[in-house]
Chains A and B, each alone.
Chain A
Amino acid sequence: MKTIALYNIKGGVGKTATAVNLAYLAALENIQTLLIDLDPQGSASFYFKIKPSKKFSQKKLLAGGRSVDKHIKGTDFEGLDLLPADISYRNLDIALDSLKRSQKRLKEILKPFKKEYDLIILDCPPNVTLLSENVFFAADHIIVPTIPTTLSIVSLNKLLRFFEDTNIDKQKLISFYSMVEKRKTMHRQILNTSKQEKLNFLETHIPYNADIEKMGIYRQPTTYFSTNSVASKAYNSLWSEIKNLILKTG
């Protein structure tokens, strides 16, 4: 079983859209997948038309085991389940801070789900907190959707240094260009720059595309409702690369 996280300190870069589409494509290939929405905004949950039960809260998440399992819901797609986010998640990092082994707590919570699921995808909130550190330790790969601007690259390098300082394996960090608009000069320039040293970039980039935004209307993954669109093809290619990566590393 592998765990991957979609993470970026910046919001609006395509984390959730990517998480949702990757999860759907994995399930389509009979890979039993659990998507965990860690963002109190609950966008991933919204995309799948799933609301958390009234009894669910960050306390239940941190309790792990049955308390979590009870609240996992099947999406409309076979092989894909979702643990929806709850507004109480805004207090997650505070709650984590009061616990022992505060950085590795999430990893422990995910352990029992290894048997049931082949792949766990974490959709993360846009910040850097104790929760994020938990994600860095829990995930096998941290995937960072990056808009091709200078500031994004700066931010990415900062994240890399954070990994170095916190003794987290830098190899886990993988980026790809997201919301790419070829008509923008800066985007073209960043894309054409020879591979950013020290940063792992995937070949595929995801274009800025209205079909992706329409997920909010249809409340279904883009790769489901418009299989042949440019956006879907891009997500399929991205999933291919990521799948190879996951399968390669033991």
Chain B
Amino acid sequence: MQAHSFLVDNKDNNQVIEIIESLYPVKKIAGKSINLTYYDTFDLSLQKKGLFFCKTGTNYTLQAINVENNTQPITFNSSKQLKFWQDLPTSDLKNKFKNILGIRALIAFASLKNDQQPCNIVDSEEKIIARMSLESFSLDNSDVFLGKILKLKAIKGYNKHYNKLLDLLAIQNQMQPLEQEDFMQLIIDGGGVIPMKYTAKPINIDEAQMPASDAVKKLFFSLLAIIKINEDGVIKDIDTEFLHDFRVAIRRTRSILNLLKVIFNESAVLPYKLKFASLAESTNKLRDYDVYLLNKDSYLQMLPSHLHKGLNQFFINIKKRKKYEHRKLVQRLNSSSYHEFINSWKDFLENSNDIFDSTNSAIPVVDLARKHIYNKSKKILKKGTKINRESPDSSLHDLRLDCKKLRYLVEFFSELFPKKDITILVNQLKKLQDCLGEFNDYSIQQIHLEDYLLTINASASNSIELAATIGALISASYQEKQKRRNAFFRIFKTFASEKNINLYFMLFSMVS
């Protein structure tokens, strides 16, 4: 059935009704007031897919922002708080949300109060010929008024009347028609806690001739912003991505300080290097526990079901330890020393004349990038070629760290080089990194599990079950680790192919 919405500007309900009554009688019916809460992830993954997700009472609606697609809204009921995709009530919904949300949590970004005055528009026999609702929207907590909308809905067979109403409202009274996306924009603009367009990636350096010192400062500022914006999510433990993005931003900051040493005034930056290192270290365990918990299902799949009970005990312990680490981190992030550190870093960047070595940092950033990328890649090629089947695991860990450093350098400065070429290099590097990363994950897993085995209380009632479980997992981890070790050789061969090497040479060698 036809329906139209209009923005009501500067008129109260009775004034609007008066306008309509110039054509047809209007009968008010029982009004109501409802609360609407809009949810999305911190990085707006639903909005990015053109969707909005709204709750009123226990009813949820998932709807397209742009109704041109003519997709029907999905509505369902749930009395449970929905935070992650696993909380959705049906498998269809779980799948749908899993694809959009991933590991991100839903956050309420706007809470509105909606006062509705529904009315029936009738003819001379008091037969309803159209339905209308006058709806006011305001922010829930602050009562800030967002807007008033007139919703008109046709009744089958009464199109002539409906068209007369449309003419009255749109043309004679010049009321502004409102599309769904406009309505969403009204809410987004109006307020509530809206996450800004969030990205975990630092700013792109794209001016090749910019002095290295300016470029690096820009990078530091954008990374600092990412660190700050994720603090709250880390403290509230909303989802694991906040800590992850927080750590990556710190890691990237440290990598600039370490990899591009030559441009800095070492004694001036040293205290910051140390503080960032300490901050990073304080998040390591917590991240490990997060990763364990994220992988819980894949662990369960690795084991026969009669060992699942033991595994669940393992995870209960992990959760306890996570809680402890999280509390420690929260204390640190809330402490005055942390705030002082962050503020002093900002101040240092903004005001200090002492940050850089004036000669080394004056070179164009593209030259700096090329030099470091070239050297780093040479190092990786050299180290990787030396690795053979007898090499210890530590050689692979070492290589992994070098690859990470190269990757950061390439990412910071990718815009300074031809896109096609950089994409090829990044893809190759990524494959190598993924293999070495997984190797590393399984090694650590194996070590942690072996350590855990030592802590099992032999006299406890479920100790044998638990030990069997952990033993099985250790074995599984070892197998997976070995698989990656074997795959490494094949993957490194591609990375070190002549074609690749030539590409690196062409892009980054200073001889050209």
- Please name 26 pairs of A and B residues whose Cβ atoms are closer than 8 Å in the assembled complex, sorted by A: A48-B127, A49-B125, A49-B126, A49-B127, A50-B127, A51-B125, A70-B157, A71-B157, A72-B156, A72-B157, A73-B155, A73-B156, A73-B157, A73-B158, A74-B1, A74-B155, A74-B156, A74-B157, A74-B158, A76-B120, A76-B127, A76-B128, A81-B156, A81-B157, A219-B125, A219-B126
Nearest CB in chain B: distance from A218 CB, A: 10
Q: Which residues on B sit within 8 Å (CB–CB) of A50?
A: 127
Q: Which residues on A sit within 8 Å (CB–CB) of B1?
A: 74
Nearest CB in chain B: distance from A117 CB, A: 12
Chain B residues in the interface with A (C-beta under 8 A) = 1, 120, 125-128, 155-158
Q: Which residues on B sit within 8 Å (CB–CB) of A81?
A: 156-157
- Taken together as a complex, chains A and B put the C-alpha atoms of A50 and B126 apart, in Å, by 10
- Taken together as a complex, chains A and B put the C-alpha atoms of A73 and B155 apart, in Å, by 7
Q: Which residues on B sit within 8 Å (CB–CB) of A48?
A: 127
Q: Which of B126, B127, B128, B155 has the most chain A CB atoms inside 10 A of its CB?
A: B127
Sample of 12 more A-B contacts, CB < 8 Å, known A49-B127, A70-B157: A49-B125, A50-B127, A51-B125, A71-B157, A72-B156, A72-B157, A73-B157, A74-B155, A74-B157, A74-B158, A76-B127, A81-B157
- Taken together as a complex, chains A and B put the C-alpha atoms of A60 and B120 apart, in Å, by 30
Q: Which residues on B sit within 8 Å (CB–CB) of A71?
A: 157
- Taken together as a complex, chains A and B put the C-alpha atoms of A48 and B127 apart, in Å, by 8
Nearest CB in chain B: distance from A182 CB, A: 36
Interface of B is mostly: loop
Chain A residues in the interface with B (C-beta under 8 A) = 48-51, 70-74, 76, 81, 219
Who on chain A is nearest to B157 by CB?
A73
- Taken together as a complex, chains A and B put the C-alpha atoms of A71 and B156 apart, in Å, by 9
- Taken together as a complex, chains A and B put the C-alpha atoms of A58 and B136 apart, in Å, by 47
Who on chain B is nearest to A73 by CB?
B157
- Taken together as a complex, chains A and B put the C-alpha atoms of A132 and B127 apart, in Å, by 30
Q: Closest 7 CB pairs between A and B?
A: A73-B157, A49-B127, A74-B156, A74-B155, A76-B128, A49-B125, A72-B157
Q: Which residues on A sit within 8 Å (CB–CB) of B125?
A: 49, 51, 219
Who on chain A is nearest to B130 by CB?
A74
- Taken together as a complex, chains A and B put the C-alpha atoms of A60 and B157 apart, in Å, by 15
Q: Which of B120, B127, B157 has the most chain A CB atoms inside 10 A of its CB?
A: B157
- Taken together as a complex, chains A and B put the C-alpha atoms of A49 and B125 apart, in Å, by 6
Nearest CB in chain A: distance from B267 CB, A: 76
Nearest CB in chain A: distance from B238 CB, A: 38
- Taken together as a complex, chains A and B put the C-alpha atoms of A242 and B155 apart, in Å, by 28
- Taken together as a complex, chains A and B put the C-alpha atoms of A73 and B154 apart, in Å, by 11
- Taken together as a complex, chains A and B put the C-alpha atoms of A76 and B121 apart, in Å, by 11
Who on chain A is nearest to B127 by CB?
A49
Who on chain A is nearest to B123 by CB?
A49
Q: Which residues on A sit within 8 Å (CB–CB) of B128?
A: 76
Nearest CB in chain A: distance from B105 CB, A: 34
Q: Which of A48, A50, A74, A219 has the most chain B CB atoms inside 10 A of its CB?
A: A74
Nearest CB in chain A: distance from B77 CB, A: 15
Who on chain A is nearest to B120 by CB?
A76
- Taken together as a complex, chains A and B put the C-alpha atoms of A219 and B156 apart, in Å, by 19
Q: Which residues on A sit within 8 Å (CB–CB) of B158?
A: 73-74
Q: Which residues on A sit within 8 Å (CB–CB) of B127?
A: 48-50, 76
- Taken together as a complex, chains A and B put the C-alpha atoms of A72 and B155 apart, in Å, by 10
- Taken together as a complex, chains A and B put the C-alpha atoms of A51 and B158 apart, in Å, by 11
- Taken together as a complex, chains A and B put the C-alpha atoms of A87 and B120 apart, in Å, by 29
- Taken together as a complex, chains A and B put the C-alpha atoms of A74 and B127 apart, in Å, by 10
Nearest CB in chain B: distance from A115 CB, A: 15
- Taken together as a complex, chains A and B put the C-alpha atoms of A70 and B158 apart, in Å, by 10
- Taken together as a complex, chains A and B put the C-alpha atoms of A50 and B157 apart, in Å, by 10
Q: Which residues on B sit within 8 Å (CB–CB) of A70?
A: 157
- Taken together as a complex, chains A and B put the C-alpha atoms of A219 and B122 apart, in Å, by 14
Q: Which residues on B sit within 8 Å (CB–CB) of A74?
A: 1, 155-158
Nearest CB in chain A: distance from B476 CB, A: 51
Q: Which residues on B sit within 8 Å (CB–CB) of A76?
A: 120, 127-128
- Taken together as a complex, chains A and B put the C-alpha atoms of A73 and B130 apart, in Å, by 11
Who on chain A is nearest to B156 by CB?
A74
Nearest CB in chain A: distance from B194 CB, A: 35
Nearest CB in chain B: distance from A113 CB, A: 13
Nearest CB in chain A: distance from B252 CB, A: 56
Q: Which residues on B sit within 8 Å (CB–CB) of A219?
A: 125-126
Nearest CB in chain B: distance from A24 CB, A: 14
- Taken together as a complex, chains A and B put the C-alpha atoms of A74 and B159 apart, in Å, by 11
Nearest CB in chain A: distance from B30 CB, A: 15
Who on chain B is nearest to A71 by CB?
B157
- Taken together as a complex, chains A and B put the C-alpha atoms of A32 and B8 apart, in Å, by 33
Nearest CB in chain A: distance from B46 CB, A: 29
Who on chain A is nearest to B154 by CB?
A74
- Taken together as a complex, chains A and B put the C-alpha atoms of A51 and B126 apart, in Å, by 12
- Taken together as a complex, chains A and B put the C-alpha atoms of A199 and B368 apart, in Å, by 99
- Taken together as a complex, chains A and B put the C-alpha atoms of A74 and B154 apart, in Å, by 9
- Taken together as a complex, chains A and B put the C-alpha atoms of A74 and B126 apart, in Å, by 14
Nearest CB in chain A: distance from B2 CB, A: 11
- Taken together as a complex, chains A and B put the C-alpha atoms of A49 and B129 apart, in Å, by 11
Q: Which residues on B sit within 8 Å (CB–CB) of A72?
A: 156-157
- Taken together as a complex, chains A and B put the C-alpha atoms of A219 and B126 apart, in Å, by 10
Q: Which residues on A sit within 8 Å (CB–CB) of B155?
A: 73-74
Who on chain B is nearest to A46 by CB?
B125
- Taken together as a complex, chains A and B put the C-alpha atoms of A61 and B485 apart, in Å, by 79
Nearest CB in chain B: distance from A22 CB, A: 20
- Taken together as a complex, chains A and B put the C-alpha atoms of A17 and B484 apart, in Å, by 78
- Taken together as a complex, chains A and B put the C-alpha atoms of A72 and B157 apart, in Å, by 6
Q: Which residues on A sit within 8 Å (CB–CB) of B157?
A: 70-74, 81
- Taken together as a complex, chains A and B put the C-alpha atoms of A134 and B1 apart, in Å, by 31
Nearest CB in chain B: distance from A52 CB, A: 10
- Taken together as a complex, chains A and B put the C-alpha atoms of A219 and B155 apart, in Å, by 18
Nearest CB in chain A: distance from B70 CB, A: 17
